[in-house]
Amino acid sequence: MKLLVTGGAGFIGSHYVRSVLTGAWGTEEPELVIMLDAFTYAGNHANLAPVADDPRLRVVEGDILDRELVDKLIGEVDAVVHFAAESHVDR
Q: DSSP labels for 5-56? A: EETTTSHHHHHHHHHHHHTTTSSPPPSEEEEEE---SS--GGGGGGGTT-TT
pTM: 0.90
What the chain holds in terms of domains, given with CATH numbers, is: 2-82 (3.40.50.720)
H or E segment and range at residue 74 = helix 67-74
pLDDT single digits (tens) 62-88: 999 999 999 999 999 999 999 998 777
H or E segment and range at residue 79 = strand 79-82
pLDDT single digits (tens) 8-58: 999 999 999 999 999 887 777 899 999 999 998 778 889 999 999 999 999
